[in-house]
Amino acid sequence: MAELNHDRSRQLFDEASELMPGGVSSPVRAFISVGDHPFFVAGGQGPFITDVDGNEYIDWVQSWGALLLGHAHPAVVDAVTRAAARGTSFGTPAELEVELARLVIEMVPNVDRVRFVSSGTEAGMTALRLARAATGRDKIVKFAGCYHGHSDALLAQAGSGVLTLGIPGSPGVTEGTAQDTIVVPYNDLVAVKAALDAWPDQVAAIVVEPVAANMGLVVPHDGYLEGLRSLADEFGALLVFDEVITGFRLGPGGAQERFGVRADLVMLGKILGGGLPVAAVAGPAELMDQLAPVGSVYQAGTLSGNPLAMAAGVASLRAIKEDATLYHRIQERARSLVRGLVDVADIAEVPMVATAIGGLAGFFFAEDEVVDLDGANASDADMYAHFFRGMLDRGIYLPPSRYEALFVSATHEEEHVERTVKAAHDVLTA
List of residues contacting ligand HOZ (CB under 6 A): 26, 28-29, 64, 160, 214, 404
- One of 51, 57, 147, 372 is an active-site residue; which one? 147
Closest contact distance (angstroms) between CB of 30 and ligand HOZ is 9
Q: Which is nearer to ligand HOZ, 235 or 363 (CB)?
A: 363
**426 catalytic, yes or no?**
no
Torsion of CA 265, 271, 275, 276, to 10 degrees: -30
- One of 242, 264, 372, 403 is an active-site residue; which one? 242
- Exposure b/e, 39-50, CB count within 10 A at least 16 = b: bbbeebebbbbb
Burial of 197 (0-12, 13-18, 19+ CB in 10 A): exposed
Q: Which is nearer to ligand HOZ, 105 or 165 (CB)?
A: 165
Measured CA to CA, the distance from residue 137 to residue 91 in angstroms comes to 33
- One of 186, 264, 270, 384 is an active-site residue; which one? 270
Closest contact distance (angstroms) between CB of 12 and ligand HOZ is 17
Measured CA to CA, the distance from residue 178 to residue 174 in angstroms comes to 6
**193 catalytic, yes or no?**
no
Closest contact distance (angstroms) between CB of 350 and ligand HOZ is 25
Return the residue nearest ligand HOZ (CB atom). 26
Q: Which is nearer to ligand HOZ, 5 or 26 (CB)?
A: 26
Q: Which ranges in 136-203 belong to alpha helices (H)?
A: 161-164, 175-179, 189-198
Q: Which is nearer to ligand HOZ, 27 or 305 (CB)?
A: 27
Closest contact distance (angstroms) between CB of 219 and ligand HOZ is 17
Q: Which of 371, 416, 380 is nearest to 70 (CA)?
A: 416
Closest contact distance (angstroms) between CB of 27 and ligand HOZ is 6
- Exposure b/e, 357-393, CB count within 10 A at least 16 = b: bbbbbbbbbbeeebbbbebbbebbbebbbbbbbbbbb
Indicate the DSSP class of residue 38. P
Amino acid identity for residue 423 in this structure = A
Q: Which is nearer to ligand HOZ, 59 or 404 (CB)?
A: 404
Q: Which of 109, 314, 120, 118 is nearest to 213 (CA)?
A: 120
**53 catalytic, yes or no?**
no
Positions annotated as catalytic residues are 147, 242, 270
